[in-house]
Each structure stands twice: as C-alpha cells, then as structure tokens.
A and B are shown apart, each in its own frame.
Chain A
Amino acid sequence: MNSRYFLLIAVSIFLALIMALMPLPFSFDPFRPDWVLLVLMYWALAVPHRLNIGTAWVVGLLIDLATGSPLGINSLTYSICIFVTVSNFQKIRNFSIWQQAILVGLFLTLYHLMQFWLNHFLMDVYFNPQYLWPVVTGMLSWPWIFLLLRKYRRHFRIR
C-alpha cells in the first residue's frame, strides 16, 4: 500500500511542477505563486511521516534543473522551509485556514529572502521588491490549495 500513497503524492507534486514551469503572460509572471513549495508544505503538514526533508531536497533539485538556477539553491531553501513546517506541524494544524495562510506567508518570505541572498552571493543580483510578489499571491492561494488537497487526500484516503 505504501507505493500507492507515494504515487498519489507524486502525482500532485508533478502537477505542481508543470504549473510552476508553464508559460504565463509577461505581466503575470512576477505574481506566479510557488506552487511546488505550497503543495510540499501541505503534505508536510498532513502526512509528515511520508513526506519529509528528503523529498523536499529531491524536488528542490528538480526545480533547480528545470528552471536553470545554480544547482542546490532550491534544494537548500526547500529543505529549510519544510524543516520549519514539519517541526511545528501539530501547532499549525490547529490553526484556522487564514491563520495558516499568514504563517505560510512568513515561510514563503523566508524562502524568497534565502533565495535572493544565495543568488546575490553567487551571481551579483540586486534586490527588487518585485521578487516578493509570490509571497502575497502564495498566501492568498493557500486556502484554495489546502481545501483542494484535503479533498484529494480524503478521497484517496492518504494517511
């Protein structure tokens, strides 16, 4: 039965990957939420014994390869974000959806600041407040992702 759960979770992460890579009109592109990280966070909250830092690391590496960023940057930041989420999963589960959304926003801010810092260190990029738009859109899309994935999880009885 273990492989069934693994497959179902992998399908959701795969769909998130496709959405993260899909072309968007030029003016919408800065607002794209971090779909993959949000989905990983959901699974880390719901089934922390199945999806953990190791998975986050591998998925982060895939994102690095697919978006052409220096290897290891997303692995590192995803691992840290999922670590923070998993180590507090029992507290976060008890919050209401909007409180969760605010917390997720905090984690996303942490993610984007670490991303920027690493990229600044490796490639000399300069800070642009535009880089933080995905935090806002990610926060706003968390309730929908949460409800959708909860339905998915309950329908397939992923435990």
Chain B
Amino acid sequence: MKLMFGRTISLQLRLFVAVVLSVMLIVGDRYTQGGTTVRTSLNTLVSPLLYLANLPYEVFSLGAKSLHTRDQLLTENEALKKKQLLQSEQLQQYQFLSKENQKLRALLGSSAKQSNRKIIAQVLSVHSNPYSHQVVINRGTIDGISEGQAVVDEMGVVGQLTKVGSTTSRVLLMTDTTHATPVRILRNDVRTVVEGIGKINSVKLSHVPHSLDVRIGDVLVTSGLGGTFPEGYPVAVVTEINRDEGRPFAQVYAEPIAQLDRIRLLVILWRNQQETISNE
C-alpha cells in the first residue's frame, strides 16, 4: 500500500481547488438566470435518481390501493359521484356567468379574459433541502413547461416552478422565505404582498400600514400583478393581526389555503397569452 509516498498533489492544493470551484458555483448559481441549457441538463442528470428514490413510495401506495375492499371502493365511488353532480351543477352556473361577464366586459370596452393552458403534475415524494420549502414534480421541459410558471392545486396557489429539468422539476412553495406573492384582499380589493417565513402553515403580509383595512378571516387572492400568477386564485386567509403602534408596520399573518404539507396532484398554469388560448 503506498499511502504516504508518491501522492501527486498535496491535500491542501486539492482543498484549495475544491473551495475555489465551489465558490465559483455558488456565485454563478446566485447571479445567473435560470432556464439555460446548462442548468436544464444538470437538472436532467439527477432525474433518474429522483424517480428511483420515489419508487419505494410508489410500490407501497400501489400495494395499499390494491388492498382496498369492495365496500371502501363503493363508498368512495358514491361520494365522488355526489361531488361531481354538485360541481357540474356549479359548472352550468359558471358557464352562464362567464358568458355574462364577457358581455359586460365588451360593453365596458375592457379586454376580455382568456382561459389559459394548463397541465396536471404529480408530486414525487423525495427528500429536499431542509432549509427551503420545495417539492419535486414529474413534469419537465418535455411537457413544455418552463421556469417561473404558476402552480396551483384544487384549493389554491401552491407556488411556482424553479429548476426545470427535462423530466422533473421543482416547485418553490409560497411559504419559502425567498417567495413572495402579489395578492389583493377579496373583500375590498386592497393590494398587498404575501411573503413566506419558512413555516408551512403561515405566511406574512409585508409592509402593511396600521391604517390598512384588514380583518381576521379576510380571503387573499392573487392580484395578477407581477405577471407570474394569473388573477383571482385564492392564496391565504388572514389569521392574526397585531397592530402594535410602536412598530413601523402592522404584523399580519395568514394561513395558506392550499394544504402545502399534503399536496399530491398539482396544476401548472401558463401565463395569459394570445397564442396559448387553446384550452385542453
């Protein structure tokens, strides 16, 4: 064993090179735009690893599914049918209302709202960086998605896409400390911004003046400003207001409407654009 002699490069030099390369990577990652070819291919590199790590979970849930009893399935089917009936009734109303809305908008001379393209994605359950809130989904550039698109679930806004690879990508949740969502209060249309504080069940309204008309129970919906999130998706419900006059701003906290710790199926939305009107 030649452990002590004949070492070509000294350890210190190796460490120095590694540190320099890492610092270059960190700086490069921080100060360059996402969505480039290099990044996409790097993200694609680890996709098989993520699918493989998700495999045990899939196997278990498949096993659990096949162990459902007939009775359970029948009850579930019944409940789903009822839900579908109720929702299709609401849908009839919705179609009527949306027609009416378009007519009214035409009368007012304002631009008509278009429905935008969307795609359903599934969450891969793999471990992520404990310092940030994010989940991995099974869609990538192959499905035509790109960085910065909005992600919602059946309840409300979930977050937006980051680190897109060819078959997997990551969703930055709205509760992450680096995420902010432009919102307005549904009751009185006051605009504000909701930012994550690193807790899965709480977000904070930033820079709220003491005089702002906000109450506990107010629903916050996306305002459509900023261009990432389409207008009108529910975001959070105000849960705590602390109007301490000694502080420059009121402390307002809200709870996300989407249940971010148990998401499974997500919808990825495209931005409102002329060429992507094609629904379906």
CB within 8 Å of B: which residues of A? Answer: 17-18, 20-24, 26, 29-30, 32, 48-49, 52-54, 56-57, 60-62, 65-73, 75-76, 79-80, 83, 86-87, 115-116, 118-119, 122-126, 131, 159
Set of chain A residues within 8 Å of B14, measured between Cβ atoms: 52-54, 83
Known: A18-B52, A125-B198. A71 touches B28 (CB 8 A): yes
Report how far A83 CA is from B15 CA in the complex, Å.
7
Q: Is the CB–CB distance between B127 and A79 below 8 Å? A: no
- B247 sits at the interface (CB 8 A): no
- Minimal Cβ-Cβ distance residue in A for B171: A68
Quick one: which of B14, B18, B50 has the most chain A CB within 10 A? B18
Report how far A21 CA is from B54 CA in the complex, Å.
8
Q: Least Cβ distance of B51 to chain A in Å? A: 10
Report how far A24 CA is from B11 CA in the complex, Å.
37
Q: Is the CB–CB distance between B198 and A23 below 8 Å? A: no
5 tightest A-B CB contacts, nearest first: A72-B25, A76-B22, A21-B53, A79-B18, A72-B26
- Minimal Cβ-Cβ distance residue in B for A56: B18
- B42 sits at the interface (CB 8 A): yes
Set of chain B residues within 8 Å of A118, measured between Cβ atoms: 26
Q: Is the CB–CB distance between A124 and B178 below 8 Å? A: yes
Set of chain A residues within 8 Å of B26, measured between Cβ atoms: 70-73, 76, 118, 122
Report how far A68 CA is from B54 CA in the complex, Å.
15
Quick one: which of B28, B42, B45, B49 has the most chain A CB within 10 A? B49
- B21 sits at the interface (CB 8 A): yes
- B163 sits at the interface (CB 8 A): yes
Q: Is the CB–CB distance between B49 and A17 below 8 Å? A: yes
Report how far A29 CA is from B170 CA in the complex, Å.
19
- B167 sits at the interface (CB 8 A): no
Identify 10 residue pairs between A and B in the complex whose beta-carbon atoms are under 8 Å apart, listed by A's number. A21-B127, A53-B11, A56-B18, A61-B25, A71-B42, A72-B29, A75-B22, A83-B11, A119-B132, A125-B132
Set of chain B residues within 8 Å of A75, measured between Cβ atoms: 18, 21-22, 25
Q: Which of A22, A68, A115 contacts B134 (CB 8 A)?
A: A68
Q: Is the CB–CB distance between A29 and B127 below 8 Å? A: yes
Q: Is the CB–CB distance between B131 and A23 below 8 Å? A: no
Per-residue A-contact encoding for B12-45, CB less than 8 Å = 1, 0 else: 0011001101111110111000000000001101
Interface size class of B (residues with CB under 8 A): 35 or more
Q: Is the CB–CB distance between A69 and B131 below 8 Å? A: yes
**Extra inter-chain contacts (10) besides given A49-B1, A49-B2, CB under 8 Å:** A23-B127, A49-B3, A53-B11, A56-B18, A71-B42, A72-B29, A76-B23, A79-B19, A119-B129, A124-B178
Known: A23-B54, A23-B126, A53-B11. A65 touches B42 (CB 8 A): yes
- B145 sits at the interface (CB 8 A): no
Set of chain B residues within 8 Å of A48, measured between Cβ atoms: 3
Q: Least Cβ distance of B99 to chain A in Å? A: 43
Known: A21-B50, A57-B18, A76-B23. A70 touches B57 (CB 8 A): no
- B192 sits at the interface (CB 8 A): no
Report how far A88 CA is from B25 CA in the complex, Å.
28
Report how far A79 CA is from B11 CA in the complex, Å.
11
Set of chain A residues within 8 Å of B1, measured between Cβ atoms: 49, 159
Q: Least Cβ distance of B198 to chain A in Å? A: 6
Q: Is the CB–CB distance between A68 and B261 below 8 Å? A: no
Set of chain A residues within 8 Å of B162, measured between Cβ atoms: 68
Q: Least Cβ distance of B135 to chain A in Å? A: 9
Q: Is the CB–CB distance between B126 and A57 below 8 Å? A: no
Report how far A26 CA is from B26 CA in the complex, Å.
29
